[in-house]
């Protein structure tokens, strides 16, 4: 019996290993194309360029255990002491910056000693330790932290020009399907919702929360004509006369904000729950039609208007 169990375990391991895939990307196939500027990034702080491969994985995103290979051959218009590289999910679903690889593969040197006009090459092989939730970008940077102290700073933006080395994996085509109704339990994405003031000219216009639910759809993001039924069971510590919400996309693919339901304020917000009492469990449910197909990610924008005694609050999941 022990031998049989061991054999079954080995088969299971082999089956798991077999599902891992290799994705190959050439920088020229990114959304930025063959010429990529490296602007100053105040958050780094460094000079940073992002080669975005997200459109190539709309039909199938890389997952934990998959291998991602990046190829880049190009020139710089200025001397660069080094280029540091990373593979990152920059989507809202990944809190806008999640490195997809183990610590041993973070912030690696892609190339050093670049001379203006002289070709350089980068070839990186990554093993993902996280699923791509929304976006996949190859980060190229210099003038950052200890690396700049070691190799020297440039203090100038470069322009990188690339030529194709390999053919990139292309899973851009999404399986065609008819619109459908999709049921979403918001609790599966977030259990504690923080409602904070949204200000305009020093005045509170409403209390709101914006959070991603992209991961709940996996590789089948909503398309135009879908209807999304959103449910939630929770409590609030204040009375809320009416809790409203809409669906938006706040990703780089759409310039960081696109309404998915309607363009005008009165039509895009739906009532999710009414007459919420402090500490008392409420059940929220609403079905919202999608008017624009999702590109990379989908988020909920939720709000309630100011009322006498209103304040920010936490809406908590209730069993």
pLDDT at 319: 83
Instruction: Single out the residue of 132, 154, 119, 122 nearest to residue 38, CA to CA.
Output: 154
Residues 6 or more apart from 279 whose CB is under 8 A from it? 235, 236, 237
Cβ 317 vs Cβ 283: under 8 Å: no
CB atoms within 10 A of CB 22: 11
Q: Report the mean per-residue pLDDT for the chain.
A: 92
Ramachandran category for residue 19: left, alpha or beta (phi over 0 → left; psi -120 to 50 → alpha): alpha
pLDDT at 16: 47
pLDDT at 238: 93
pLDDT at 24: 98
CB-based contacts of 192-199 (< 8 A; 24+ apart in sequence)? 192/314, 192/315, 192/316, 192/317, 193/234, 193/302, 193/314, 193/315, 193/316, 194/312, 194/314, 195/302, 195/303, 195/304, 195/312, 195/313, 195/314, 195/315, 196/312, 197/312, 198/303
pLDDT at 93: 85
Residues of the chain with pLDDT under 70: 1-18
pLDDT at 15: 46
């Amino acid at each position: 019996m022990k031998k049989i169990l061991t054999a079954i375990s080995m088969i299971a391991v082999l089956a798991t290993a077999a599902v891992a895939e290799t994705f190959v990307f050439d920088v020229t196939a990114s959304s930025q194309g063959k010429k990529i500027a490296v602007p100053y990034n105040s958050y780094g702080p460094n000079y940073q360029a992002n080669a975005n491969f997200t459109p190539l994985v709309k039909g199938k995103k890389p997952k934990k255990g998959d291998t991602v290979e990046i190829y880049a051959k190009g020139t710089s218009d200025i001397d660069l002491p080094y280029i540091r590289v990373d593979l990152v999910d920059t989507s809202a679903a990944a809190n806008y910056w999640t490195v997809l690889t183990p610590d041993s593969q973070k912030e690696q040197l892609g190339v050093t000693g670049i001379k203006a006009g002289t070709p350089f090459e980068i070839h990186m092989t990554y093993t993902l330790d996280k699923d791509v939730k929304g976006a996949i970008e190859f980060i190229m940077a210099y003038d950052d932290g200890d690396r700049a102290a070691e190799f020297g700073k440039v203090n100038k933006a470069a322009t990188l020009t690339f030529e194709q080395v390999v053919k990139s994996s292309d899973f851009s085509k999404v399986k065609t399907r008819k619109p459908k109704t999709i049921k979403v339990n918001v609790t599966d994405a977030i259990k504690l919702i923080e409602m904070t003031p949204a200000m305009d000219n020093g005045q509170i216009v409403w209390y709101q929360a914006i959070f991603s639910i992209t991961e709940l759809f996996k590789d089948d993001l909503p398309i135009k004509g879908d209807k999304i039924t959103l449910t939630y069971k929770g409590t609030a510590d204040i009375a809320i006369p009416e809790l409203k919400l809409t669906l938006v996309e706040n990703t780089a693919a759409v310039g960081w904000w696109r309404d998915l339901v309607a363009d005008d304020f009165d039509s895009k917000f739906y009532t999710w729950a009414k007459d919420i009492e402090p500490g008392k469990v409420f059940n929220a449910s609403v079905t919202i039609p999608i008017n624009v197909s999702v590109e990379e990610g989908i988020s909920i924008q939720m709000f309630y208007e100011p009322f006498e005694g209103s304040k920010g609050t936490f809406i908590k999941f209730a069993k």
